[in-house]
Amino acid sequence: MVRTDEDREGDRWIVGLIARFGEEGTVTTIVAGASDFIGAALIIVFARGITVVMKNSYMTDTILHWMENAVAGSSQGAFAILALGAIFVLFMGRFANAILLWSQVLNGFLLPVIMIFVLILVNRRDLMGDQINAKGFNWVAWISTVAMILLTLVVAYSSIRELISHPSS
């Protein structure tokens, strides 16, 4: 015999009556039991929505194609360096957080240098022709670069101060 949803719904009411919950107690119990599944159901619906949007707009194909082209000309040495870096961080155990923090501090110091050189290059008329940056964009770019430098100095200072005050951690 195959049980239908209506049979199961009847079972819920029977369990409620046997436990003497009454109508309100039974409904409250059913709702409380169903609430555990609401979060998971919403996540599934949201993920399915993203999947449909990405599939119908061909975003997945575009992203995969871009990633394939990005690594197509890469050498085996580049992948070896990435793999060795990942293995190094994984095997460092308790020092992994410090390694990740200081690598990001280093990235923070190098990024403004790159930003400065890029800004200098994109403002050269002999190199860019009529496509040089507008003055308003230059103001925003230079303010962003200075802000990046200041934020990097703040992070470095706080990290060094924490390292000095807690040397054993």
| Residues 68, 63: Cα–Cα separation, whole Å | 9
pLDDT band at residue 64 under the 50/70/90 scheme: confident
Give the pLDDT score at 146.
92
- Residue 147: its pLDDT value, please? 92
Residues 133, 123 contacting (CB under 8 angstroms): yes
Assign 121 to helix, strand or coil: helix
Q: Where exactly are the structural domains of the chain?
A: 5-68, 76-165
- Tell me if 89 sits within 8 A of 100, measured CB to CB: yes
Query: Tens digit of pLDDT for each residue in 82-96?
Result: 888 878 777 877 777
pTM exceeding the 0.85 threshold for the entire prediction: no
Which of the pair, 71 or 124, is modelled with greater confidence? Answer: 124
Sign of CA dihedral 106, 161, 155, 83: positive
Say yes or no to pLDDT of 131 above 70: yes
